[in-house]
C-alpha cells in the first residue's frame, strides 16, 4: 500500500472509530466502506475490519460498563447463539450482493425512523427469551458473513422494540460486537490462513478514536444526540452495503 493511501486510511479509521463508538458500535461497516473506496483487496477487508472492531468494542464495553449502563440479563440471551454462528458466517465467503442490498435497505429504514421520529424513552420491557436467543443467532451469523460485529443491527432493534433505553442498548451492543467479531475473525482465519500485515498502522488510530468516542457516548452526550448519531451511522452502513 502506498504511504499516502495508508495515511488517508488511518485518518479515516480514526474518524470512524470516534463516530461509531459514541453510540456503542465499533465501526466495522465504516471501516469496510473506507477500505472499499481506497481499493483495499477484498480478501483483506473483512479481517482488518474485524480486528479494529475487537479493539474498539473492547474499549466501548469497558466505558459503558463503568458508566453503569450494562445489563447482563438483557445481554446473554442475544449472545448465546450469536458467537458460534458468527464463526460460521466468518468462515463462509459467499457472493452476497442481493443480501447486502436487502440488509442495507433495512438499515436505511431504521435510520429514517431515528431521524424523523426518534422513539421516546420509556420503561423498557424484557424481550421474550426464546426470541432474543433466535434473533441473537441470526444477527451473529449476519455479523460474521458481512464482517461486522452485529451491533449495527442489534442497537436499533433494542431501542425500537423498547427492550432497552438508548445507553443501555449501546452498552449491550458493545460486548455483543466484541464476541461476534472475535468469533468471526477466528472463522475467517480458519478459512484463509492469512492476515494483512499493514493493519498495525490502523490499530493506534482505532484505539484512540474508540476511547474518545466511547467516553463521550457513555457519559457526556444527551440521549437525543446519541439517537441522531445512530441515524448517521445506520445511514453510512446502509449505503455502504447497498453500493459495495
Given this model, what pLDDT does residue 40 score? 81
User: Which of 78, 88, 75, 76 is closest to 142 using CA atoms?
Assistant: 88
Q: Where are the domains of the chain?
A: 3-243
- 56 contacts 26 by C-beta, under 8 angstroms: yes
Digits of tens for pLDDT over the chain (244 positions)?
678 888 999 999 999 899 888 888 888 878 887 887 787 877 788 788 889 999 999 999 999 999 899 999 999 999 999 989 988 888 876 666 666 776 677 678 777 767 766 666 678 899 999 999 999 999 988 888 777 778 888 988 998 899 998 889 989 999 999 998 898 888 878 877 776 666 777 999 999 999 998 998 887 777 777 777 878 877 887 787 777 6
* Other Cβ atoms closer than 10 A to 116: 8
- 74 contacts 225 by C-beta, under 8 angstroms: no
| pTM of the full structure | 0.81
Number of C-alpha atoms within 13 angstroms, CB side, residue 209? 26
- 71 contacts 170 by C-beta, under 8 angstroms: no
Q: How far apart are CA 147 and CA 138, in angstroms?
A: 14
Q: How far apart are CA 239 and CA 244, in angstroms?
A: 8
Amino acid at each position: 500500500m502506498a504511504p499516502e493511501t495508508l495515511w488517508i486510511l488511518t485518518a479515516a479509521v480514526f474518524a470512524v472509530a470516534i463516530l461509531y463508538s459514541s453510540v456503542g458500535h465499533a465501526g466495522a461497516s465504516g471501516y469496510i466502506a473506507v477500505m472499499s473506496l481506497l481499493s483495499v483487496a477484498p480478501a483483506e477487508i473483512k479481517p482488518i475490519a474485524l480486528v479494529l472492531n475487537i479493539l474498539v468494542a473492547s474499549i466501548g464495553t469497558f466505558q459503558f460498563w463503568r458508566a453503569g449502563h450494562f445489563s447482563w440479563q438483557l445481554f446473554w440471551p442475544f449472545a448465546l447463539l450469536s458467537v458460534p454462528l458468527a464463526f460460521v458466517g466468518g468462515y463462509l465467503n459467499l457472493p452476497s450482493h442481493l443480501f447486502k442490498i436487502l440488509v442495507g435497505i433495512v438499515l436505511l429504514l431504521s435510520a429514517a425512523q431515528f431521524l424523523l421520529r426518534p422513539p421516546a424513552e420509556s420503561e423498557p420491557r424484557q424481550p421474550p427469551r426464546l426470541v432474543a436467543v433466535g434473533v441473537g443467532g441470526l444477527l451473529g451469523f449476519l455479523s460474521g458473513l458481512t464482517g461486522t460485529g452485529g451491533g449495527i443491527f442489534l442497537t436499533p432493534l433494542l431501542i425500537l422494540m423498547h427492550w432497552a433505553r438508548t445507553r443501555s442498548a449501546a452498552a449491550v451492543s458493545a460486548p455483543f460486537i466484541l464476541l461476534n467479531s472475535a468469533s468471526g475473525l477466528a472463522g475467517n482465519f480458519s478459512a484463509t490462513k492469512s492476515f494483512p500485515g499493514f493493519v498495525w498502522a490502523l490499530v493506534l488510530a482505532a484505539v484512540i478514536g474508540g476511547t474518545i468516542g466511547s467516553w463521550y457516548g457513555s457519559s457526556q452526550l444527551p440521549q437525543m444526540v446519541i439517537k441522531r448519531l445512530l441515524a448517521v451511522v445506520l445511514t453510512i452502513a446502509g449505503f455502504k452495503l447497498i453500493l459495495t
